[in-house]
Amino acid sequence: MKILITAPYHEQGLETLQRQFGEIIYRSWKPHGRAYNEDELLAILSDTQAEALITEHDHVTAKVIAANPQLQFIGVCRGTPSNVAVSKATEMGIPVFFTPARNAQAVAELFISNVIMLLRNTIPGINWLKGRNWQAGAHDSYLHFKGNELAGKTIGMVGFGAIGQLIAKLVKEYPCPIQFFDPYVAEYNSDYRKTSLEDLFTSSDIVSIHLPVTAETKGMINGRLLKMMKKDAIFINTARASVVQREDLLEVLEKKSIRGAILDVFDHEPPDELDYRIIDLPQVIATPHIAGATFEVEDHHVEIMNRALLQWYAHANRHIAELANKDILKVHFQ
């Protein structure tokens, strides 16, 4: 099988696939500087005559898939295959693999660091010090930037998938009580509390969003919920911006109805004027969609993808071997 790989892939991962599948054509999007668009991907697939594709951010549209019925599988090195026309692939019988939880550790670590920075007034303290403002006695900064500890804060997760559960595991020993809203999670650690969306917003000290974008979740976090939050609560979104109604979030932040927000995603990337009104608020820690941006994430997605593909390949071979033992298949082959 000839596999085209446009996702970042380390040498060991490429060698593993080459040993198992045959020819590997590696054309990562990174030297290109951006994801391949529809036309570019069509051209690459036509040029290479690839029989399988492993991508990350490229535009794998229905047109791309329809033009390449020879594809044996599509691998997507992302937490969700949102850049792939999955319904078209399914229609054509092409399996789609992806890499859930590839960035869970990275997002969880940034969650903890940014929450502590906001609670401890770290960024204002750094800016104050660099501004040569320490003119008074030794206790001036101590009194001015006194903050809070993370320990004891109730953390509410809206969506309790791989990232939410890893954060819960990491902060459990602070200790932090954990509660969550997720109608699709039936089994969970008994130390965690499953609750309603309204109760979560009312009773949490920290509300963290971990939702994919679906018809059900788009705009789900609105002013009604945000206004239920405690005055000293923190709102966090490192998932997808469109699940939050940003005008409502801006309102509660400008009115100082909550303590602050930690945001890594925005309705427009790069941000538009309204996004910047939120970003520029002093009680907001905003990062440019980098929660999952670690070098190790690429190692994780190679490991997860290769493991899934090798399992699929082994299963397919076993199935063929079983069929080969049946007389009907023997006759067909003869």
Q: Please, where are the H alpha helices in 120-264?
A: 122-130, 140-144, 162-171, 197-203, 223-226, 246-254
289 is catalytic: yes
Sign for the CA dihedral angle at 106, 107, 110, 116 comes to: negative
Given the residues 269, 296, 315, 319, select the one marked as catalytic. 269
Helix (H, G, I), strand (E, B) or coil at 188: coil
19 is catalytic: no
38 is catalytic: no
Helix 162-171 to helix 104-119 angle (10° resolution) is 50
Given the residues 240, 246, 300, 301, select the one marked as catalytic. 240
Closest Cα to residue 161, out of 102, 86, 220, 229? 102
Q: Which CA distances in Å does 333 have to 70, 84, 260, 280, 318?
A: 21, 35, 68, 68, 17
Contact 250, 223 (CB under 8 A): no
What positions carry a catalytic annotation? 240, 269, 289
